[in-house]
Copies of this chain bind each other. A is one copy, B any other.
Amino acid sequence: MTSPAQQDPPIDDWHETLIRVRYSETDKMGIVYYANYLIWFEIGRTEYCRARGFAYKDMEANDDAFLVVAESYCRYKAPAYYDDELLIRTHITEMRRRSLRFGYEIVRNSDGQVIAEGETGHVVTDSDGRVRSFPEGYAQRLMAAPIVKSTIPTGNLVPDREGPG
Residues of A at the B interface (CB closer than 8 Å) are 16-20, 22-24, 26-31, 33-36, 38-39, 42-43, 46, 55-57, 66, 68-76, 79, 81-83, 85, 87, 107, 109, 112, 129, 150-163, 165
- Check if A74 sits within 8 Å of B71, measured CB to CB: yes
- Check if A152 sits within 8 Å of B158, measured CB to CB: yes
A-B contacts, 29 of them at CB < 8 A, read A16-B161, A18-B155, A18-B156, A19-B153, A19-B154, A20-B154, A22-B39, A22-B42, A22-B43, A23-B28, A23-B33, A26-B27, A26-B28, A27-B27, A28-B28, A35-B35, A35-B39, A38-B38, A57-B82, A72-B74, A73-B73, A79-B129, A85-B154, A109-B159, A109-B161, A150-B158, A156-B156, A157-B159, A158-B161
- Check if A163 sits within 8 Å of B160, measured CB to CB: yes
Chain B hits for A73, CB < 8 A? 71-74
- Check if A76 sits within 8 Å of B69, measured CB to CB: yes
- Check if A68 sits within 8 Å of B29, measured CB to CB: yes
Copy number in the complex reads 4
Chain B hits for A87, CB < 8 A? 161
- Check if B27 sits within 8 Å of A23, measured CB to CB: yes
Nearest B residue (CB) for A112: B161
Query: Shortest Cβ distance from A115 into chain B, in angstroms?
Result: 13
Query: Shortest Cβ distance from A42 into chain B, in angstroms?
Result: 5
Chain B hits for A154, CB < 8 A? 18-20, 85, 152-154
